[in-house]
Structure formats: C-alpha cells, structure tokens
Amino acid sequence: MWTVVYIAPNKGIAEKYKKILTDEGLLVQLRTIGSSHLGDHASVEILVPESEAEEAHEIITTVMGS
C-alpha cells in the first residue's frame, strides 16, 4: 500500500523530493491533487510504500531543515 509522506506545492518541488528519495533507494510515486488545468502549479502528493514511509519522512524533514 502506498502512503502519502508529503504534499508539495507544485510539480517542481515534488520532482526535487522524488529525486532525493529515489537516490536514497526508495520507491516513489507522484500524484497531482486537484484540477488538471493548474498544470505544473497544482499541488502534488509524494507517495512511498507504507514500509518506507518513516524513512522517507525523516529524509524529507532533514532536507527541509537544511
């Protein structure tokens, strides 16, 4: 089961976090929230397998703090 670990404000930030997480060996999916007419400006959910959620959250928290 996939779990949302972060909601990015736009696609660019979501892609940045996806790269960081995949570089750490995690599986990552992105899912746009809301209307498709917003394009790259729509919020994006970052999802990982439930078993990797805690690790992903720690990585994101570390990145956001730096």
| pLDDT classification of 5: cutoffs 50, 70, 90 | very high
> Which pLDDT score is estimated for 35?
74
> Which pLDDT score is estimated for 40?
77
| pLDDT classification of 65: cutoffs 50, 70, 90 | confident
Lowest mean pLDDT among 41-45, 57-61, 62-66: 62-66
Exposure class string for 29-57: b at 16+ Cβ within 10 A, else e: eeeeeeeeeeeeebbbbbbbeeebbeebe
Exposed, middle or buried, 64 (CB in 10 Å: 0-12/13-18/19+)? exposed
The domains of the chain, with CATH numbers, are 2-65 (3.30.70.260)
